Amino acid sequence: MFTKILIANRGEIACRVAATARRLGIATVAVYSDADARAKHVAACDESVRLGPAPARESYLCAEKIIAAALATGAQAIHPGYGFLSENAGFAQACAQAGLVFIGPPASAIEAMGSKAAAKALMEQAAVPLVPGYHGEEQESGFLRSQADRIGYPVLLKASAGGGGKGMRVVERSEDFDAALASCKREAIASFGDDRVLVEKYLTRPRHIEIQVFADGHGHCVYLFERDCSVQRRHQKVLEEAPAPGMSEERRAAMGEAAVAAARAVGYVGAGTVEFIANQDGSFYFMEMNTRLQVEHPVTEMITGLDLVEWQLRVAAGQALPLKQEQLRIHGHAIEARIYAENPEKGFLPAIGTLTRMRSAAAVEFRLGQSAPGDPAHVRIDAGVRKGDAISPFYDPMIAKLIVWGPDRDAALRNMQRALAQYQVVGLATNIAFLQRLVAGQAFSTADLDTGLIERHRDTLFPPPSSPDTETLALAIAAILQQEHAQAERSDPWSQRNGWRLNTRLLRTLRFEHDAGDTTVQLDYAGDGQHWSLQTNGQTHALQLHAADGDTLMISLDGRTLRADVLREGEWLHVFDAHGQRSLRHVDPLAHAGHSEAEGGRLTAPMPGKIVALLVQKGASVAQGTPLLIMEAMKMEHTIAAPADGVVEDLLYAVGDQVAEGAQLLEFKAA
């Protein structure tokens, strides 16, 4: 076995490989770009080497730098992870020439499967079922159109060297073929430097089912069952599960044996995935082979109890496969959800930003390497980022992979719904709410699966924005009140903020902005600092704050006890409860008094009043929307917030001071 390996990747897969290496007593070397100097995967390894600037072509795609780093640190082998150089035959060959072990298949196998057209020709010779189509070298547009006419529409155009959903077009009619072909070729040449395409019959409601294969250098090859990856957007996977729902033992064996035949046809060694397109009638056809570890490999680990990275290391070190086909078993059901920094409502556009909060489900570490999944290891999280890390524009915007296990699919589905509701991310847009709707939807919950599921159910998966319910409003208001009370806990009675008034009660109007517009709530103080009433949408509700522990609140609303986490960031309140996350912006009409250009950007008193709390110190650096001080005017308390990112240069008044209308309250310098 190796004593030291270099991990030629980043993010969650680099952390994943490092975890297994650590368990096996193997030292690890991380590589990083300037954007990843303080990344989680760097901290997860024993030592690290800088590759270069942030762009991948100047860092993670620089084979020479990676090989030099391995040699300089004394690493014996290189694990490529997935993406980047993992399926680069030239890189695998260069590793061998440098005396390093490439923890993956031989360069010849990568090359053989790298071209979709060449791979399908090999599969045809190996008697692996193929989708009817044309996979040849002739690329003249008229000829390709004649092949499409022969196959019958609809057809699918696919870049021969493609992957990741790029260079793919569905053509419904012959008259649309030429324009679709030109578009496909343009995208293919831009993405892969190769504009060759193949033409295949397009199956209208296909499932995407893949088989995990493993081969060693001693002539052994097995399949570790299947994964269903049918739920996709833009030809990219969103949810994966194992085993595939509705899979019969006969069909599983047939697909597994076909996958093994495909691996043997190219002299495969290591972990690989043979992907099939499957019809609803049970027929299946070879699509492609990924000559690496897949993103979704954890679901296979969860149902077999095996560590696939450990198998990779053992096979690369020359050992035989640990188990034979007849020794492999399926235990229960596993589902994986990919949590991305992206905006599903805007076409799944990637999002960038800093993870100001990242709190996940109560995961119990999955004990890899045992014979079966151990109870209660029902939730596993593979993440390459931490709270405070940034999702940059340079790399894939994945935040984490959330994997759950259950004794059957229904149990796994319930675990996934619970785990998604507990996942809390603040700082950028995510697909968590979309995943919740997807998992709870009838199509996925009943296993009515095909690659068009998301598009077919757009109405339910992308509902119009809705106003926050009364529970969300009550929790947001409770968080505001709790913070105000915490800031005003002083001995003198004039600083108390319990709403007490002589011969009257305090009525306060709160306005919240949200995705669906804005909502106004009338807050009536009882005067004891513990009870309030809310009036919204023509109804009155009784509110009581029971307990607060950090961000966690417990309230009573109309006699019902509610518990939730509420995170406040400037004017934004993020409410996390059993149903997921809602974000509201508390709009105080006087909070930004003095921000106008006519007032020179000074923070001034909106009217005569009294300073009741100073929330920052002189010299503090603050972000836009950060509360700076609180003043009381006309029996109401108002928070004065930072108009922009900047520095508080001076505080001009103290707590208890009376100020005149228009008085400058502090000196502020915008960044």
CB atoms within 10 A of CB 347: 9
Share of the chain above pLDDT 70, in %: 90
Given pLDDT bands bounded at 50, 70 and 90, which one contains residue 402?
very high
Please check whether residue 415 is in contact with residue 362, taking contact to mean a CB–CB distance below 8 angstroms.
no
Amino acid at 382: D
Q: Which two three-digit tokens encode residue 302?
A: 């969860």
Statement: residue 110 has pLDDT above 80: yes
| 55 cis-preceded (ω within 30 degrees of 0) | no
Statement: residue 432 has pLDDT above 70: yes
Statement: residue 594 has pLDDT above 70: no
pLDDT recorded at residue 630: 84
Tens of pLDDT, residues 550-571: 889 999 999 999 999 999 888 8
Given pLDDT bands bounded at 50, 70 and 90, which one contains residue 373?
very low
Give how far Cα 121 sits from Cα of 116, 144, 265, 655, Å. Answer: 9, 17, 11, 81
Tens of pLDDT, residues 195-228: 999 999 888 889 999 999 999 999 999 999 999 9
pLDDT recorded at residue 643: 84
- How many whole angstroms separate alpha carbon 283 and alpha carbon 206? 10
Specify the DSSP class assigned to residue 75.
Answer: -
pLDDT recorded at residue 501: 61
Given pLDDT bands bounded at 50, 70 and 90, which one contains residue 352?
confident
Q: Residues of 54-78 as b/e, b for ≥16 C-beta within 10 angstroms?
A: bebeebbbbbebbbebbeebebbbb
Specify the DSSP class assigned to residue 130.
Answer: B
- Enumerate the active-site residues: 292
Statement: residue 374 has pLDDT above 70: no
Helices assigned H by DSSP within 24-88: 40-44, 63-73
More confident residue, 405 or 570: 405
Residue 622 belongs to what H/E stretch? strand 621-622
CB atoms within 10 A of CB 115: 18
Statement: residue 457 has pLDDT above 80: yes
Of 114-128, 193-207, 589-603, the one with minimum mean pLDDT is 589-603
Statement: residue 372 has pLDDT above 50: no
> Crossing angle, helix 141-151 and helix 177-192, to 10 degrees?
120
Statement: residue 400 has pLDDT above 60: yes
Tens of pLDDT, residues 66-104: 999 999 999 999 999 999 999 999 999 999 999 999 999
Write the DSSP assignment of 286-333 as a string of letters: EEEEE-S--TTHHHHHHHH---HHHHHHHHHTTPPPSS-GGG----SE
Given pLDDT bands bounded at 50, 70 and 90, which one contains residue 413?
very high
Tens of pLDDT, residues 526-540: 766 788 999 998 999
Give how far Cα 340 sits from Cα of 40, 337, 348, 421, Å. Answer: 17, 9, 9, 15
Tens of pLDDT, residues 620-671: 998 888 889 888 765 456 778 888 888 999 999 999 888 876 788 899 888 8
pLDDT recorded at residue 496: 56
Statement: residue 502 has pLDDT above 60: no
Share of the chain above pLDDT 90, in %: 67
Tens of pLDDT, residues 221-273: 999 999 999 999 878 899 999 999 999 999 999 999 999 999 999 999 999 99
pLDDT recorded at residue 600: 37
Of 15-19, 177-181, 380-384, 498-502, the one with minimum mean pLDDT is 498-502
pLDDT recorded at residue 598: 37
Given pLDDT bands bounded at 50, 70 and 90, which one contains residue 392?
confident
Q: Do β-strands 101-102 and 77-79 pair in parallel, antiparallel, or remain unpaired? A: parallel
pLDDT recorded at residue 494: 55
Statement: residue 375 has pLDDT above 50: no
The mean per-residue pLDDT over the stretch 577-600 comes to: 68
Statement: residue 615 has pLDDT above 80: yes
pLDDT recorded at residue 463: 94
**545 pairs with which residues across the strands?**
555
Statement: residue 425 has pLDDT above 50: yes
Q: What angle do CA 260, 81, 120 make, to 5 degrees?
A: 35
pLDDT recorded at residue 493: 56
pLDDT recorded at residue 367: 47
Statement: residue 596 has pLDDT above 50: no
The mean per-residue pLDDT over the stretch 2-7 comes to: 98
pLDDT recorded at residue 31: 98
- How many whole angstroms separate alpha carbon 646 and alpha carbon 626? 10
pLDDT recorded at residue 377: 55
* Phi, psi dihedrals of residue 114, rounded to the nearest 5°: -70, -30
Most confidently predicted of 280-284, 398-402, 609-613: 398-402
